[in-house]
Amino acid sequence: MTIIEKTAVEQRQALLSKEIKAVELLDLTYEQIEKRDEEIGAYNSLTKEYAYETAKKVDEKIEKGEELPLMAGIPLALKDNMNMIGSYTTASSKILENYVSPYDATVVVKLKENLVPIVGKTNLDEFAMGSSNENSAFKIVRNPINTKKVPGGSSGGSAASVAAFEATVSLGSDTGGSIRLPASFCGLTGFKPTYGRVSRYGLIAFASSLDQIGPFGRCVEDAAALYQVIAGHDMHDSTSLDMPAGDILSSLKQDIKGLKVGVITDLMQEGVEEDVKKNVLNSIEVLKKAGATVKEVKMPTLKYAIGIYYVLATAEASSNLARFDGVRYGHRTKGAENLLEMYTKTRAEGFGDEVKRRIMLGTYALSSGYYDAYYKKAQQMRRLVKNEFDRVFKEVDVLVSPTCPTTAFDLGSRNDDPLAMYLTDIGTICANLAGIPALSTPVGFDREGMPVGLQIMTDVLKEDVLLRTAYNVELGLK
């Protein structure tokens, strides 16, 4: 195993013991990008100048014997919907194709403070709207394990970069499963924290009440360490929680004896592939052997989650994307004769089909005469989903289910059926609606050698329990 294939924990040890320099680790990472990314399509742009400046500072600190921040020197890929000063921040949309960030997102500020080399900006479904990473305006992303398959979306580039060893860790955003789904399809641990645990300042908004930034790693400990770096209160984000995230790593390796695990039967039924079910059931046995007690739980309101999500998310997208009109930044059409024509032509030229579809759905749901029937009703149903989670978490500590009913599907196989594509997120959407933390961790493979992900969910602010459970699953499957 080469150094770029190792975990962040192992790479950090190699840096501290001076087996390799941070600059050399970065050299190898960029060599791998040169070798593989033309085929994979994980990156939209690279940020070499900043990455090397940071790596040099890390090497200087090590030489002086100074204490090294937690993720210092570890190559990281950043989803291209997070602002980083001086970099292209496109959200994989033509409307922002040449937009250069004038400021840093809060997560980027934290990465810089911790001397994390940001390798580049990763490809995504346009404005994070998609489950396969085939909706990018620039190029599709391929799954590094099998390039005929999708990597999952919308954070497909972030997941593919780590799976292809083009970065050691990465950040994605998750609105309805956009971290967990690619993690499942690419064989990684991907983690969506409690809503408000990580600042959204500087993240290009899709659906503001659902969006959350989170980490990808090759193991649970990598994801936990990166979360610890980016979590915390931020004055720039009014939804940011004013409470410390705590020292997650110190409790990560504790046992789970007596932990109460609920298996969501509603997400283990029709449509779940046999290989997925088999691996998920095997991971549940691992939890039992580790001392957890397991019971089945029913959550009947989850069957409404897809409908609720696609009313609320599209309504918020319609509102958030109104700012892309050619006036202040981004693409502006040429030759428009009046303001209205400039608006309409700019948006028609700049947005892709999936984004247009969701803007139209959302605008309809918010329109006069339909607001009460759709948007208001969806908000009321969202409350019922949250109530159901509150009820279940009085009985169990964690919930488990397949991250996705299937493993990674073939490129192009669902492009003509938007509903089939939307149903890919059937297991993940509910965590965003409830604002609870959730992750996907790999628990095996199907008969084609594609990874299967186990989804674990806990009550709000219980990231320590979530990560500890995932760590024990990982340990038991080794």
Structural contact between residues 216 and 188, judged by C-beta atoms closer than 8 angstroms: yes
Listed in sequence order, the residues at least 6 apart from 141 whose beta carbon sits closer than 8 Å to its beta carbon are 40, 41, 42, 123, 133, 134, 150, 151, 156, 157, 160
Angle at the Cα of 182 from the Cα atoms of 180 and 185, rounded to 5 degrees = 110
Q: What value does the mean pLDDT take over residues 248-257?
A: 94
pLDDT classification of 11: cutoffs 50, 70, 90: very high
- Encode 402-420 in three state secondary structure: ECCCCCCCECCCCCCCHHH
The confidence score (pLDDT) of residue 88 equals: 97
In the DSSP assignment, the letter for residue 211 is -
Domain boundaries, the chain: 3-251
| Model confidence at 335: pLDDT above 90 | no
Residues of the chain with pLDDT > 90: what percent?
94
pLDDT classification of 416: cutoffs 50, 70, 90: confident
| Model confidence at 114: pLDDT above 90 | yes
Token couple for 147: 């390039």
Sheet of 118-122: strand order equals 43-46, 118-122, 76-79, 169-174, 212-217, 189-192, 438-445, 451-458, 398-402, 260-264, 293-297
| Model confidence at 419: pLDDT above 90 | no
The confidence score (pLDDT) of residue 423 equals: 85
| Model confidence at 417: pLDDT above 90 | no
Query: What are the pLDDT digits (tens) for 160-206?
Result: 999 999 999 999 999 999 999 999 999 999 999 999 999 999 999 99
Angle at the Cα of 85 from the Cα atoms of 82 and 90, rounded to 5 degrees = 45
Alpha-carbon distance of 125 to 415, in angstroms, equals 13
Higher pLDDT, 288 or 269: 288
pLDDT, the chain, mean: 96
Query: What are the pLDDT digits (tens) for 52-74?
Result: 999 999 999 999 999 999 999 99
Query: What are the pLDDT digits (tens) for 27-36?
Result: 999 999 999 9
Higher pLDDT, 244 or 453: 453
Which ranges of 301-417 would DSSP assign to H, the alpha helix?
Answer: 305-320, 339-350, 353-366, 377-392
246: left (phi over 0), alpha (psi -120 to 50) or beta: left
Query: What are the pLDDT digits (tens) for 37-46?
Result: 999 999 999 9
Q: What value does the mean pLDDT take over residues 290-304?
A: 96
Q: Which residues are catalytic?
A: 79, 154, 178
The confidence score (pLDDT) of residue 418 equals: 83
Q: What value does the mean pLDDT take over residues 430-437?
A: 98
Q: How far is CA 420 from CA 25, 123, 132, 425, 458, in A?
A: 41, 23, 12, 10, 28
Token couple for 428: 């993940």
Query: What are the pLDDT digits (tens) for 370-383?
Result: 999 999 999 999 99
Token couple for 204: 């290009």
Q: What value does the mean pLDDT take over residues 390-402?
A: 98
11 in helix, strand or coil? helix
Round to the nearest angstrom and report the end-to-end CA distance of the chain: 17
The confidence score (pLDDT) of residue 359 equals: 97
The confidence score (pLDDT) of residue 199 equals: 98
Q: What value does the mean pLDDT take over residues 263-269?
A: 94
One CATH from 1.10.760.10, 3.40.50.720, 3.40.640.10, 3.90.1300.10 for 3-251: 3.90.1300.10
